[in-house]
Structure 1
């Protein structure tokens, strides 16, 4: 069972002032309205209607938060470990200037100032990656080099193998210029391609279970004690 199976809707925010005052890390999803962002969230959470997509680009101007939780070590309760954040999608061609401005302020303000942001998934249509909105997001992220990024090349089932190789090579070359905090992968919600890889990547961005963290700490402590003991014996 994946951590993302626990996802449940928490709150929507239409303004930055409405963002929840939480401390847990957040993984945000961004991209064009027709890139398949909402479908991606629904696929990894195994819920068909958790995230909604509007058929009209620019119609939905809300940031939606979905809580992630796991059982405590004693199994008696659940603890919140993070959140998925669905940023409003955008279609430049069909939105007026005021909508563009409000989208830029809302999404830009969240990305620039949200301390809880641990990672950003930029969902792109693999047939048409790096569109103007994608470029805007990527350039904007230069201001947050500490935040991990995944450039998700969605709908990869709709391109041929040769085009795949070319698209992946170009994307990886661009990602390499940013550094190790940026990775790239193909994804298809329809064919369920890349689902496990995506889940594994996103789970690595969130805290380990308390029991695993405690075990790791115990191993480190034992190792330190062993080193100290060995030093004393010498």
Structure 2
């Protein structure tokens, strides 16, 4: 099966939302804690091993990193519609200075509220651990603003298939109990488990009009 996310290219790294590309077209943002495997997931989804920088030291992504995709359809003026993936700064890494953490809290909040080309969030969470406060905050925001969210439970290769199935069932139960309309799946960038499913989820988000 061909990869619809193939051809992704680095565009820029922005310290502020004002430095992002023009706010038209469609983009999907990847969010998650610093050690949840966000960069590895991006590399696996795009089929480009070196696209997003991975490191054994969590917290290396300290800017909004933008990757362009081949145009996915056309806009109202029939011109090719630009599409992008946006890697948001990893959240929660203790060694990030407090002032930088506060800066990113404000910038990400502004990005989520005001970026009209944003079509949805892919939330990266380590399958071996319960959701963290940041994860729940992101899910609550998506629910409150009707922004679609797809959760990747990463590092599934670290668990047995039965354990992964139980973890996914527990998350879906938690989402349903909270009234959150997010979707979720098991994922591993190593095996690779769930990569095709995740690619289709990203494409669905990119095609979803913003309310």
TM-score bracket, shorter-length normalisation: 0.7 to 0.9
Contact 1:69 1:79 in 2 (8 A): no
Contact 2:14 2:20 in 1 (8 A): yes
Distance in 2 between the 1:172 and 1:19 partners?
33
Cα displacement string for residues 21-67 of structure 1 (whole angstroms, at most 9, x for unaligned residues) = 13111111010111111111111111111111354444432111111
Number of the residue aligned with 2:187: 187
Unaligned stretches of 5+ in structure 2?
A: none
Contact 2:26 2:81 in 1 (8 A): no
Deviates more, 1:85-94 or 1:7-16: 85-94
Post-superposition offset of 1:194: 0.3
Number of the residue aligned with 1:25: 26
From the two aligned structures, give the one with the greater helix fraction: 1
Cα displacement string for residues 186-207 of structure 1 (whole angstroms, at most 9, x for unaligned residues) = 0000001101111112112234
Cα 1:164–1:22 shift into 2, 3 Å: same
Number of the residue aligned with 1:220: none
Deviates more, 1:37-46 or 1:85-94: 85-94
Q: Which structure 2 residues correspond to residues 27-106 of structure 1 after superposition, within 5 A?
A: 27-70=28-71, 79-106=80-107
Cα 1:112–1:96 shift into 2, 3 Å: same
- TM-score (structure 2 length as normaliser): 0.85
Distance in 1 between the 2:165 and 2:207 partners?
33
Structure having the higher Rg: 1
Number of the residue aligned with 1:135: 136
Distance in 1 between the 2:73 and 2:86 partners?
23
Contact 1:8 1:50 in 2 (8 A): yes
Distance in 1 between the 2:34 and 2:189 partners?
16
Post-superposition offset of 1:19: 1.8
Q: CA RMSD in A?
A: 2.4
Q: Which structure 2 residues correspond to residues 67-216 of structure 1 after superposition, within 5 A?
A: 67-70=68-71, 79-145=80-146, 147-177=147-177, 181-207=181-207
Structure 1 counterpart SS, 2:193: coil
Number of the residue aligned with 1:13: 14
Cα 1:66–1:59 shift into 2, 3 Å: closer
Distance in 2 between the 1:202 and 1:45 partners?
11
Deviates more, 1:11-20 or 1:30-39: 11-20
Distance in 1 between the 2:25 and 2:182 partners?
21
Structure 2 counterpart SS, 1:119: strand
Distance in 2 between the 1:113 and 1:86 partners?
17
